[in-house]
Chain A
Amino acid sequence: MFDRDAWLEVAHNVLAHPLRTTLTGISVALGIFILVVMQGLGYGLQNGVEGQFADDAVNSIWVEGGRTQLAYRGHQPNRPIKLTNADVAGLTTQADTVPASSRRIRLWGAEIVWENPNGENRGGGFGVRGVDPAHIDLERSVLLSGRYINGRDVTESRKVAVVGPNIVRDLFRDVDPLGAFIRINAVVFQVVGTFEDPGSRWENRVAYIPFSTAQQLYRTDGGVDQVLYSTGDMATDATVAQSDRMRSWLKDVKAVHPDDSRGVEVDNNNEEYAMYASIFDGIRLFIWGIGLMTLLAGAVGVANILAIGVKERTKEIGVRKALGATNGSIVSLVVMESTVLMLVSGSLGLMLAVGLLTTVAPLADHEYFQNPQVDHRIALFALVVLVLVGLASGLGPALRAVAIRPVEALRDE
């Protein structure tokens, strides 16, 4: 393996025909380049789309009322459907298990004001949500300071709030908001925590308050805007069955036509996520397909120039055999040459691809395309594939070299 003479010969053979070697090398380099770059871009796309899912827990089902489209059981169409505490209790009985859940009340444009120590009012329009404690996981919020809404807040309908980074920035600036009193639509709340939501710009403009407090203040009819159910580690199929069951149960209770797609909304994030996941499996397969095809074309090129080389060197190989060369030494000469060709040109393609991706990555910042990167395992795998393909492409020509009979190679005519 570390035989200096063998390597010198490989170097000589590779360099003896620069044009031929370069062209083949380019096709191999291109194969790896395309494979790795496309993989990186696919990664970027996947990161972008997964960023979209970072907003909410992937394993969750979201239920809310809508507006009917079809007349049913004596009701006119265009009727708003409102959920109640009783509906929520009923829905919950339709679930296989409820590892966590949260009701939600949403106010889109509440006025939130903080009177600072100088007696100066700072305020703005923000969102407000009444939530249960488990909401933090379902919305994938990250607590930054203090605490989140807890069980006692809800049972005692306390007037406490957990505020998002935009509220902190606009109202408090450098002041620590913990313990401060703010007015939400003129009702006084105490700030007990701050959070951020990396997956959603909107959610960062929101203040969370206990569900019961919100219902008493803003839904005096006992309405519930939304219910969120975690599905834990249930299989996707089971969650789909559960969300289907919830949907038909709710439609029945609310007198919504079974074919009405707008009356109630039961969104299963599991399902959506599984769909995206399968799309990405497809994309990945496609990328591998193209990359491996190009690589294969490169390998065929390498096998070809080796075959030509072996043919050109028929006489030389005959001489070597006459001088006592074993078949093994002839095979290793050819296979070493192919492996060196594949490895050198492949590594070049790999380096170019990594270079391109690392320079482009910081520039890429689109909602659906973020942080394209080279998976190190893929780069490593590509190198292993290169060596294997190099060995394989050298094998055919090597066997041809072995088959050369010295008498025929040496005949003087």
Chain B
Amino acid sequence: MIDLLGITKTYTTGAQSLQVLKGVDLAVETGELVAIMGSSGSGKSTLLNILGLLDGYDEGMYRLDGKNMAQLTERRAAELRREMLGFVFQSFNLIGFKSAAENVALPLYYQKVPRKERLRRSHELLERVGLLEWADHLPSQMSGGQKQRVAIARALAAQPRVILADEPTGALDSTTSEEVMVLLKELNGDGMTMVVVTHEAEIAAECQRTIRLRDGLVETGAHV
């Protein structure tokens, strides 16, 4: 599903430049649940953003579902994100003034799915993550674990091929972290390909494989 070959990425701030990725090679197969680990600042988020087409890379080759991702226009990137990718963030990033159901329906809005159909599907998804009775609540009325489950439902809404999660349990205590991991594993069990960035060994241990980043290179676990 995902193939990276020799990906490099350098950030330049003023006169300073920092090469965060120095030639990353890795592959993720369809249906896998993979963890990306590394110490803080090792470039995990940078890598995930490149995978999510939210950021570009300098050199190397990225193939998503067999298609080369070089030289994408912004419009094309937005389109691919809409169709192929679902995101889960550490800080949930739900929209505060929208109910759980509306948050989940938002990606469908950008796919121009009619409103009725959107809300029907968002209710199904909320049921899937066990939050149907919370559909009309605002994020501010929910716990961290519930918010992250709403975020996961939102990531699923557009029926993506891959879910990319950046520290999805980073803001949660260990019990709710466990709930979220159970949910992610269930979804993976249904066949969803998932890449989970984490710096916690317990979380990585629940995934099928761990890709370890160090000094801008993949140390272990690049391939199945």
Contact = CB atoms under 8 A, between A and B. Distances in A.
B78 A319 contact: no
Interface of B: 45, 49, 52, 54-55, 74-75, 78-79, 81-83, 87, 89-91, 93, 95-97, 106-107, 109-111, 115, 154, 158, 166-167, 170
A325 B90 CA distance: 21
B97 to A, nearest CB: 6
A321 B78 contact: yes
A324 B111 contact: yes
B62 to A, nearest CB: 15
Contacts of A405: 54-55
A323 B89 contact: no
Nearest to A313: B95
Contacts of B45: 411
Contacts of B83: 324
Contacts of A318: 93
Interface of A: 4-5, 12, 16, 315-316, 318-327, 329, 405-407, 410-412
A12 B97 CA distance: 8
Nearest to B166: A412
Nearest to A316: B95
A321 B45 CA distance: 17
A315 B82 CA distance: 18
Contacts of B78: 321, 324-327
Contacts of B87: 322-323
Contacts of B52: 322
A329 B97 CA distance: 18
Nearest to B110: A324
Contacts of B97: 12, 16
B110 A325 contact: yes
8 contacts: A323-B82, A324-B79, A324-B107, A327-B74, A405-B54, A407-B54, A410-B93, A412-B89
B69 to A, nearest CB: 15
Q: Which of A316, A326, A406 lies at the interface centre, i.e. has the most chain B CB atoms within 10 A of its CB? A: A406
B198 to A, nearest CB: 13
Contact of A406 (B54, B75, B96, B106): B54
B162 to A, nearest CB: 14
A316 to B, nearest CB: 6
A315 B96 CA distance: 11
A259 B96 CA distance: 85
A326 B75 contact: yes
Given A316-B96, A327-B78, A407-B54, 5 more contacts: A4-B115, A316-B95, A320-B110, A323-B154, A407-B49
Given A322-B81, A324-B81, A326-B78, A410 B89 contact: yes
A5 B97 CA distance: 13
A316 B92 CA distance: 11
Contact of B82 (A316, A319, A324, A411): A324
A410 B49 CA distance: 10
Closest 9 A/B residue pairs (Cβ)? A324-B82, A324-B110, A323-B107, A407-B55, A319-B93, A407-B54, A406-B54, A407-B49, A412-B90
A18 to B, nearest CB: 14
A315 B93 contact: yes
Given A4-B115, A16-B97, A316-B95, A323 B106 contact: yes
Contact of A320 (B79, B106, B167): B106
Q: Which of A319, A321, A324 lies at the interface centre, i.e. has the most chain B CB atoms within 10 A of its CB? A: A324
